[in-house]
Amino acid sequence: MRRPFLLLALALAGCAKTADPAPTTVRGRVFVQGRPLAGGTIVFAPHPERGGAGRAVVADIDANGEYELKTEKEIPAGWYRVAIADPPYWTVVIPGDAPKLAAVSGFPEALRRPDKSGLEREVLVGQANEFEFHIEVRQ
């Protein structure tokens, strides 16, 4: 008598729909010399030595130094190497009553390559991953 009930319970359990995983978001800000980088690009490339595979995810950095990675699918969890490319004439925002843009020279060449930048972050599933990057340039 117990077997039919057990089989029915197992069959119903197999039909239950599992909940979709919570979306993984990656966003943050980039600062140079303590000020937001106004423009540029940020790249999160899967870190092969830490088990990462797949394609890199790229986002633009806006005038306030903010970025958000967006893809058609969920961003895979795992470790990423990060590269930051400055705009052709990169600037930082100087806050105040009338915010101004100021050109800064000497953006580190190594930051433009994920394998050379030294920047790494771990993206975790189902949560907001917020990362700030602070770049100091020797002048």
Question: What residue ranges do the domains of the chain occupy?
Answer: 20-135
Q: In what order do the strands lie in the sheet with 57-60?
A: 57-60, 41-46, 78-85, 119-123
Q: Other CB atoms closer than 10 Å to residue 126's CB: what's the count?
A: 11
**pLDDT value of position 70:** 81
Classified by CATH at the fold level, domain 20-135 comes out as Immunoglobulin-like (2.60.40)
Strand ranges inside 33-99, DSSP E: 35-36, 41-46, 57-60, 66-69, 78-85, 91-94
Taking only the tens place, the pLDDT of each residue in 46-70 is 999 998 888 899 999 999 999 999 8
Taking only the tens place, the pLDDT of each residue in 65-78 is 999 998 777 788 89
Give the mean model confidence (pLDDT) for residues 7-18: 43
Contact 60, 29 (CB under 8 A): no
pTM above 0.85, yes or no: no
Contact 111, 119 (CB under 8 A): yes
22 pLDDT higher than 80: no
